[in-house]
Amino acid sequence: MNLGLPELVFIFLLALVLVGPKKLPGLARQLGKFLAEFKRTSNDFRRQIEVEMLSIERQERARKQADGAQMLPPEEPWERLMKPISESVGRTRQELVSVLHPEPEPLKSAPQPPPPTEQLSASAPATDHH
């Protein structure tokens, strides 16, 4: 709950009008004590839940070990999870490289024109006799 300055001023003025200036400090003290107690109680509750969750997790681990369940080494689950990701990254990388640096297609063996002979290159330009 985000209250800005205008909202806080409104609440303060409303409390001042409703309760009066003599009783307002006592009311503020009681409200502060209530909020502190509420926060303390909610933190205790959260800690109890966390302790219970840890206890349940320990019991599950102990039960699995007692049942003879083979525990995987810590690296194996991560490797299993990362394998599809690394394969996908590798494929994407190859696709990007092929798009950015396409390999030139080999030239098909087409009949090449014969090289120019020296006679044509050495002869003088043709003149028009008309």
- pTM of the predicted model as reported, rounded to 2 decimal places: 0.39
CB 71 within 8 A of CB 64: yes
Q: What is the residue-level pLDDT of the chain in tens, covering all 130 positions?
A: 677 888 888 988 888 888 888 988 888 899 899 999 999 999 999 999 999 999 999 998 888 887 765 555 555 666 777 777 888 888 888 887 777 766 665 556 555 666 666 555 445 555 555 5
Q: Which two tokens stand for residue 27?
A: 């009311």
CA dihedral 42, 47, 48, 52 (to 10 degrees): 140
Sign of the CA dihedral with 25 first, then 30, 33, and 38 last = negative
CA distance linking residue 34 with residue 27, whole number of Å: 10
Residue 73, CA distances (Å) to 57, 79, 80 in order: 18, 10, 11
Q: DSSP state, 116?
A: P
